[in-house]
């Protein structure tokens, strides 16, 4: 007389076979290229920054064309966020937060623009264009010089004014 376990194993073997046989065979294995297209997160230390580079001059041109309509000429603010300048954050609670006085990591500027801007058409910029807009906004905030070229090596070295202004709530968990 077969044991209950044996019967169970037999049942599972056939049931599993039936399930696979009935599979509609939809979908396909994801390719490396598909993963790469979505794997765009840049870490604070610059990991995953793409090749390429950008300059203030190209950034200024692109900014006037694709960004100034919402963020104002020179990043001074318009219908949407001010990106340049801003009073010291400790002056008053409502102080406007910008890349210059608030953002902790220069690499986040690249990451954010590449994934989210321009607002009506995100992910439409080339990597060189994103590096250029990053260079433009950092230079307008007087964090780098206008002649500084931004790329995967230089951008992570940029030291943001507010880099020490964030308090880590659970430092022991890092
Ligand atoms: C149609 C309007 C529009 C255009 C054009 C636009 N933006 Fe924005 N931008 C926004 C809005 C709205 C937000 C706020 C989004 C949010 O908080 O979720 C924003 C946020 C940002 C921020 C983050 C600001 C902060 O401190 O939180 C940056 C940086 C930025 N935009 C850069 C750009 C750049 C560079 C371009 C041009 C390539 C651009 N934007 C074009 C509307 C626009």
Q: Compute the distance from residue 70 Cα to the ligand 1 centre, in Å.
A: 7
Instruction: Find all residues with CB under 8 Å of 49, minimum gap 6, and list them.
Output: 42, 107, 110, 151, 152, 155, 156
Q: What is the pTM of this model?
A: 0.86
Atom 26 (ligand 1) nearest CA: 98
Q: Please work out, in degrees rounded to the nearest 5, the angle formed at the alpha carbon of residue 97 by the alpha carbons of 96 and 100.
A: 120
Atom 20 (ligand 1) nearest CA: 81
Q: Which residues surround ligand 1 with Cβ inside 6 Å?
A: 66-67, 69-71, 80-81, 83, 97-98, 112-113, 117-120, 133
Q: Which architecture characterizes domain 40-165 according to CATH?
A: Orthogonal Bundle (1.10)
Consecutive 10-residue averages of pLDDT for the chain (174 residues):
58 55 84 92 97 98 98 98 95 94 98 98 98 98 98 98 93 86
Paired tokens of 120: 């009506």
In the chain, where the domains are located:
40-165
Q: What digits encode the pLDDT tens for the residues 21-59? A: 678 889 999 999 999 889 999 999 999 999 999 999 999
């Amino acid at each position: 007389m077969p044991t209950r376990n044996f019967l169970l194993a037999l049942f599972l073997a056939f049931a599993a076979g039936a399930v696979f046989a009935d599979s509609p065979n939809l979908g396909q294995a994801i390719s490396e290229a598909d993963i790469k297209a979505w794997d765009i997160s840049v870490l604070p230390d610059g990991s995953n920054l793409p090749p390429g580079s950008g300059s203030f001059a190209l950034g200024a041109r692109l900014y006037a064309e694709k960004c100034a309509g919402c963020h104002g000429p020179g990043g001074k603010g318009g219908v949407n966020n001010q990106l340049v300048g801003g009073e010291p954050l400790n002056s008053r609670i409502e102080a406007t937060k910008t890349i210059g006085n608030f953002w902790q990591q220069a690499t986040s500027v690249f990451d954010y623009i590449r994934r989210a801007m321009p607002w009506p058409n995100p992910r439409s910029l080339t990597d060189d264009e994103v590096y250029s807009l990053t260079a433009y906004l950092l230079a307008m905030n007087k964090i780098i010089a206008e002649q500084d070229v931004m790329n995967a090596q230089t951008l992570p070295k940029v030291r943001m004014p507010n880099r020490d202004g964030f308090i880590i709530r659970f430092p022991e968990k890092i």
